[in-house]
Amino acid sequence: MESFGGDIEVARKELSILINDNKTILTELERQRQSLHLQLQEPIDTSVFNKFNQIILELNDNGENLSLVDKDFSVTMEHKILSSLVNRTHELKVLREKNKTSHDVLIEQLSILPEIQLHFNLIAEIQPKLSKLSKGVLDAQRYQTLLASNNKCLSELQNTSKRLEMLIELESFVEEYANVESELITAIEKQNTLAKQHQGNVSLLEVFEASEIQQNKDLAEVDSRSMFLKNAIQNSDSIYAEISTHNERLALLKSQVSEKDLALNLDKAQYENLESELTKVSALKITAHSLLTSDISAIKFDDLKLQKLTNLSAEFDTWARHDKTIQATQHSLNEQMDLHERLIAMGLDYLSLWPTQTCPLCNKPHESTETLRAQVKNNAILSNLSRDNSEKLAASSKRQNDLKKSIETITREALDAQSKRLTELRINVNELGAKRTTLELEKANLVAEINSVEKIISDLQGSVWGLVKTELISRAEGEINSLSDRRKVLLAKQSELREHIDRTKSLLVENTSSINSCKSYIESLTSRLPYKKIREYLKDNGLPSDVLKTHLHKNKVYLEAIKDKQKSDADEFLKECNTLHETMLADGNWIDLSTLTLQKELAEADLTKSQSVVVKFFEGLSETIGKQTDKSLTEIQETISIKISELASHIESLDNKSNKLQVLMELFNALKPYFTHISSQEKLVKIEGKIKEHSHVDMALTNERNIVISKLKELVDNFFYEDLINSIYRKIDPHPSFKKVAFKPDFDSDKPGLNLVVNDSAGESISPILYFSSAQSNILSLSVFLANALHAKDDEGNSVDVIMIDDPIQSMDSINILSTIDLLRSICLRFGKQIIISTHDENFFGLLQRKLPSEVLGSKFLKLEKFGVVVPVKPFTN
């Protein structure tokens, strides 16, 4: 619908969505309004205001500042009062907790005053002892420092002596080192000269060898090309013959592929026909009713049996109507009889419908059902007419049972025929599918072989350069002569390069021998002990060899002076150690340093612990009652006791206020109905305004959607060519009453629909799907199809002058068939259209030949001789 209506349909959908959303909102607003009306009808108790204000006055007398409430206060005042009550309650709770904490802390501090006095006494006792221990630790640490300095001086003195001995040894090696260094310089210069000559010869040899490799490569290419050309000339006859053979094979393979394609196309068409027929047969629902009303030609059921089924069904309906008539007559007779006769007649009816050996009137048993029926018949009271009706009902019941069995038998035979036809069609489909698979495989093999042959032909033509034989031989012989001349030149150059390479290699051998001799001489010079030691010293100190002698002399003098100073320092440190030892013995601190340190740490820990307890105590007092460091413990005790009494009184006052505030908050909950009433009145006013707004919106959207729907209905009327459809439909005239076709769009549901209806002369409409027979429905469909086909256009807007129809007369009677033929003939003549019809009905084919003679209208008739083959049919002659 969206592709048909375009923007108009999009607008209709959007308007429908907006209308539904607006109605949803209106429904919700109505529900809220009704709920608010119910809330406003609830009564309100106003006595709670007096209790609330009385407690507020009591709190204000105790220093609070709370507002009184009355019936005129608003929702804003409600939130303000409730907020102030909650905040003040929280403030009082926090203040009480703070006072309670201070009260508990002061009680605890009052209880630890004796402990604080003990810590004061302990501090006065520990401080002198700690001073003596601290001095002893400092003296012991200084003694260890002096002793360590003395040991360090002795160690440095030993190292200085070793360095001085090494300098004296190196000073004796200076002359020999100078001679070796002079010889090394001469040998290294000679080695460098030989290395440069060697590198030049190596580079020259690489150039010669690269040229030789290129010459060999060029010779190989010349020989290979010459051999290829000679082989091409020798093998050209066989190659050209092979190309000709493969071309013939390629033509044969392509013709075979064309044959396979033709066979596959034929099999595909046959396969699709079988698939269509299989789908049609599978969709059939075989019942007695469908056998009479539906087209079951696909299952090839016996027409005689169908005719028999029609007769049986008609007879069954006749008997049913006959039963109703007899029963109505019997009912009238029974009403006119007296009570006794009516009972006897009812008994006979009962026996006809439900045979039994027991009398339904007196419950007396009899020998058989027939005996009982005879006994009732012989009753003189029973009228002859009633007896005849009973016999007719019994005979009718028996005949109807026989007819039902016969109809069921024919229906089962039709089901068997359907099953058999399905089996045949499935077998044919499977066989045809297997055949198609085989053909496709054979075609794939042929295509692969064609590709292979084409590649072989391409390779063979490449081997002869794509030339004819004479041109190939001429070009190949000319190139062979040119390659022969080039080969001679390359051989001469190759011989000259070989001489240069041999001469350069001999020079390289001589240079390598001389370089190795120089290396051996240099290694013998550098391996001497005096040279190695002095070289290592120069490297470690970063010195050039020309300042070595001066440097050694200066260092020797410097080390001798350092040695004397280190010796005097060691003697001085030893003297100070002895003096400090005598002092520590006199003070009584000459003990192990770890023991002395441990005693000091224990004293410091005790002092720190006592001081921390005292400091913490005074810090706690400073937080609760202010700074008290300048007072005695007795004065502090009196101050704490007074503060504890004040805090207890304040806590009691705060508890009283908190309780009253809690009562106020509980009373405030009793005012909630009044607050709710005020809030509901405000909400109701807002909701009434919203309902009015959305009602106006609903009216505007509905009017707009009605305009859009009218536009869509105009599009539908213009699309289906309703006048032409009615003209075609009336020409065939399939129904005696309903003669007008109409299209009625339906936009009231969620999804838009288009209903096709037919009208009678009184204007009554019915749905053809529910009331028309198959033939009448087919005629209606044909009318709609032809009306649209007559107006069909191609992509460029040109009229399409061809109409193709398959089996247009399904289930039609003779009159409708003749009317259809007349209609098609008039369309051809009036609108200039070509109509192509396919049918399997030979009678219809014959009628077409008679009604549309070739010699008059130029019509053509073709017949399917076999699958994929049609032949013309001779014109019909009366």
Q: Is residue 865 classed as helix, strand or coil in its secondary structure?
A: strand
User: Whole-model pTM?
Assistant: 0.30
How far is C-alpha 373 from the geometric centre of its chain's CA atoms? Answer: 81
Domain residue ranges of the chain, discontinuous segments joined by +: 41-114+613-688, 125-172+543-606, 703-872
Residues 106, 623 contacting (CB under 8 angstroms):
no
Q: Please give the Cα distance from 13 to 219 (Å, whole number).
A: 87
- Which residues does residue 836 pair with via DSSP β-bridges, in sequence order? 804
Tell me: the pLDDT tens digits for 844-878?
888 888 888 877 777 888 888 777 788 888 776 65
Is the pLDDT confidence value at 776 over 70? Answer: yes
Is the pLDDT confidence value at 7 over 50? Answer: yes
Main-chain phi, psi angles of 799, to 5 degrees: -70, 135
pLDDT band for position 380 (cuts 50, 70, 90): very low
Query: What value does the mean pLDDT of the chain take?
Result: 76
DSSP string of 130-181? HHHHHHHHHHHHHHHHHHHHHHHHHHHHHHHHHHHHHHHHHHHTHHHHHHHH
Pairing mode, strands 753-759 and 765-766: antiparallel
Q: Looking at per-residue confidence, does 119 or 839 come out higher?
A: 839
Q: Please give the Cα distance from 168 to 512 (Å, whole number).
A: 43
- Which pLDDT value is given to residue 433? 82
Is the pLDDT confidence value at 303 over 50? Answer: yes
Report how far apart, in Å, the C-alpha atoms of 803 and of each of 18, 19, 718, 807, 857 are: 45, 45, 21, 13, 17
Q: Please give the Cα distance from 32 to 94 (Å, whole number).
A: 43
pLDDT band for position 381 (cuts 50, 70, 90): very low
- Which pLDDT value is given to residue 192? 81
Q: What angle do CA 286, 292, 293 make, to 5 degrees?
A: 90
Q: What is the widest separation between alpha-carbon atoms in the chain?
A: 179
Instruction: Please choose, from the candidates 493, 702, 576, the residue with its C-alpha nearest in 3D space to the C-alpha of residue 19.
Output: 702
Is 203 exposed, middle or buried, given 0-12, 13-18 or 19+ CB atoms closer than 10 A? exposed
- Which pLDDT value is given to residue 382? 41
Q: Which tokens is 665 given?
A: 């908050």
| Least confidently predicted of 112-116, 239-243, 386-390 | 386-390
pLDDT band for position 339 (cuts 50, 70, 90): very low
Instruction: Give the count of beta carbons closer than 10 Å to the beta carbon of residue 307.
Output: 10
DSSP annotation of 671 reads T
DSSP annotation of 300 reads T
What's the whole-number mean pLDDT along residues 381-388? 56
Q: Please give the Cα distance from 190 to 517 (Å, whole number).
A: 11
pLDDT band for position 450 (cuts 50, 70, 90): confident
CB environment 267-301: b (16+ within 10 A), e (fewer): beebbeebeebbeebeebebebeebeeeebebbeb
- Which pLDDT value is given to residue 326? 73
- Which pLDDT value is given to residue 383? 54
Main-chain phi, psi angles of 619, to 5 degrees: -65, -40
pLDDT band for position 376 (cuts 50, 70, 90): low
Q: Looking at per-residue confidence, does 88 or 345 come out higher?
A: 88
Main-chain phi, psi angles of 805, to 5 degrees: -135, 135
How far is C-alpha 676 from the geometric centre of its chain's CA atoms? Answer: 50
Tell me: the pLDDT tens digits for 727-772?
887 777 777 778 788 777 777 666 777 777 888 877 787 878 777 7
Q: Please give the Cα distance from 758 to 742 (Å, whole number).
A: 6
pLDDT band for position 280 (cuts 50, 70, 90): confident
Type of residue at 727? S
- Which pLDDT value is given to residue 67? 65
Tell me: the pLDDT tens digits for 98-150?
777 777 777 777 777 777 777 777 777 777 777 777 777 777 777 778 778 77
Locus of tokens 């469909």: 781
Residues 589, 139 contacting (CB under 8 angstroms):
yes
What's the whole-number mean pLDDT along residues 242-257? 81
Q: Looking at per-residue confidence, does 81 or 188 come out higher?
A: 188
In CATH terms, the fold of domain 703-872 is Rossmann fold (3.40.50)
Tell me: the pLDDT tens digits for 143-180?
778 778 777 887 877 887 877 777 777 677 777 777 77
Tell me: the pLDDT tens digits for 672-716?
666 666 677 778 888 888 888 888 888 888 888 788 877 777 777
| Least confidently predicted of 48-52, 445-449, 625-629 | 48-52
The contacts of residue 50 (CB under 8 Å, 6+ apart) are none
Instruction: Please choose, from the candidates 775, 747, 749, 744, the residue with its C-alpha nearest in 3D space to the C-alpha of residue 759.
Output: 744
Instruction: Please choose, from the candidates 158, 137, 149, 138, the residue with its C-alpha nearest in 3D space to the C-alpha of residue 576.
Output: 149
What's the whole-number mean pLDDT along residues 649-662? 74
Beta strands in 708-783 (DSSP E): 740-746, 753-759, 765-766
Is the pLDDT confidence value at 357 over 50? Answer: yes
Question: What is the percent of the chain with per-residue pLDDT over 70, rounded to a whole number?
Answer: 80
pLDDT band for position 503 (cuts 50, 70, 90): confident
Tell me: the pLDDT tens digits for 612-626?
777 776 676 766 676
Q: What angle do CA 334, 339, 345 make, to 5 degrees?
A: 45
Q: Which tokens is 840 given?
A: 């399997």
* Sign of CA pseudo-dihedral 552, 553, 557, 558: negative
Q: Please give the Cα distance from 844 to 820 (Å, whole number).
A: 11
Q: Please give the Cα distance from 607 to 599 (Å, whole number).
A: 12
Main-chain phi, psi angles of 647, to 5 degrees: -65, -40
Q: Please give the Cα distance from 176 to 169 (Å, whole number).
A: 12
Q: Which tokens is 319 given?
A: 């008997």
